[in-house]
Amino acid sequence: MSEGSPSRRLFCFGLGYTALRLAETLLADGWQVAGTSRSAESCAELTARGIAAYRFDRDHPLEDAARSIGGATHLISSVPPDGAGDPVLDAHAAEIAHAARLEWIGYLSTTGVYGNHRGLWVDEATPPTPTGERGERRAAAEALWLDYWWGHGVPVHIFRLAGIYGPGRNMLATVKAGVAKRIDKPGQVFSRIHVDDVVAVLRASIARPNGGQAYNVCDDAPTPPREVVEHACELLGVAPPPLVDFDDAALSPMARSFYADNKRVRNDRIKEELGVTLAYPDYKAGLAALLDEELADAADD
């Protein structure tokens, strides 16, 4: 079955920023795509765009799930775990197990499962040691999905995503909105990834299934967050916001929790096993391309 075959059907649990980007590229290649969203309004909008969308969350399991999932050849879940576990497996493990045509499952996780390594490098062989509740939930959900793979033989792949940016969600937009913060925490680095490179990794895995494998999905350049803010300001020709010491920064509890982990994430496996060449190997390439897109769109208007 060729990748562009119209008999290929993707089902997405959670048509958010990344999964929707994947869905749109596959639709353009002739795939059938269905999935879930949390509101009836969003489902209606997605259906109008050619994606059969159904409401789903822990309190609203899929209606007629066997029919909705049963015809899928590929399935991806971006639904985050909650305090009770993984909502998708809790509600629909049986239907997924009985989807006879499934060739590939992808679970979107986070590099947050590695926890804090004080700026040292980690790779997929590094044992997950999450430091906070969100990371602990993700590590537990990964284990549930991998147990599902071993128990049912459906090839599950774990994708540990770094901080995702792309059109409409990037530091250029944050600076222009006047909400960028330039935080000084010496030695702190974060990994990031352009959404189109995430899609490239997912498509490469679809083409080369390897059940039970985990992949770090990040670019080549773990970077102090203040440098990304400064570079975005330079591209836009504006002064950067004042430098604020981390201890004095007015950050939300969630934003502050990200700074608890400090690590450099290796991405060799997506290159060596999946043959991926990153379109945006660092934040400078990614932000430059996004600015070019914005200027081109403005010129067209």
Whether pTM > 0.75 for this model: the answer is yes
Is residue 239 in some structural domain?
Answer: no
With cut-offs at 50, 70 and 90, classify the pLDDT of residue 15.
very high
Could you read off the pLDDT of 143-171 as tens digits, one per residue? 999 998 888 888 899 999 999 999 999 99
Beta bridge partners of 85: 82
Is residue 100 in some structural domain?
Answer: yes
| Whether the Cβ atoms of residue 55 and residue 37 lie closer than 8 Å to each other | yes
Round to whole Å and give the CA distance between 153 and 143: 15
| Whether the Cβ atoms of residue 205 and residue 280 lie closer than 8 Å to each other | no
| Whether the Cβ atoms of residue 131 and residue 203 lie closer than 8 Å to each other | no
Round to whole Å and give the CA distance between 230 and 234: 6
Residue 76 lies in domain = 9-166+193-220+264-280
Is residue 233 in some structural domain?
Answer: no
Sign of the alpha-carbon torsion through 71, 149, 92, 161: negative
Average pLDDT, integer, range 217-223: 98
Residue 25 confidence (pLDDT): 97
- Percent of all residues in the chain with a pLDDT value above 90, rounded to a whole number: 87
Count of domains in the chain?
Answer: 1
Average pLDDT, integer, range 69-91: 96
Among 80-89, 91-100, 113-122, name the one with the lowest average pLDDT: 91-100
Is residue 232 in some structural domain?
Answer: no
With cut-offs at 50, 70 and 90, classify the pLDDT of residue 214.
very high
Residue 246 confidence (pLDDT): 93
Give yes or no for residue 100 having a pLDDT over 50. Answer: yes
**Angstrom distances, CA of residue 2 to CA of 5, 29, 105, 209:** 5, 11, 17, 14
With cut-offs at 50, 70 and 90, classify the pLDDT of residue 301.
low
| Whether the Cβ atoms of residue 65 and residue 11 lie closer than 8 Å to each other | no
Round to whole Å and give the CA distance between 111 and 267: 11
Is residue 125 in some structural domain?
Answer: yes
> Residue for token digits 């499934």?
102
Question: What CATH number corresponds to the domain at position 80?
Answer: 3.40.50.720
Average pLDDT along the chain: 94
Is residue 85 in some structural domain?
Answer: yes
Between these two residues, 6 and 71, which has the higher pLDDT value?
Answer: 71
Round to whole Å and give the CA distance between 26 and 103: 16
Find, among 42, 99, 40, the residue nearest to 65 by Cα: 99
Sign of the alpha-carbon torsion through 93, 99, 104, 106: negative
Is residue 23 in some structural domain?
Answer: yes
Among 17-31, 66-80, 120-134, 249-263, name the one with the lowest average pLDDT: 249-263
Residue 298 confidence (pLDDT): 81
Give yes or no for residue 239 having a pLDDT over 90. Answer: yes
Residue 254 confidence (pLDDT): 86
Is residue 152 in some structural domain?
Answer: yes
* Cβ contacts of 121 within 8 Å, gap of 6 or more: 263, 264, 265, 266
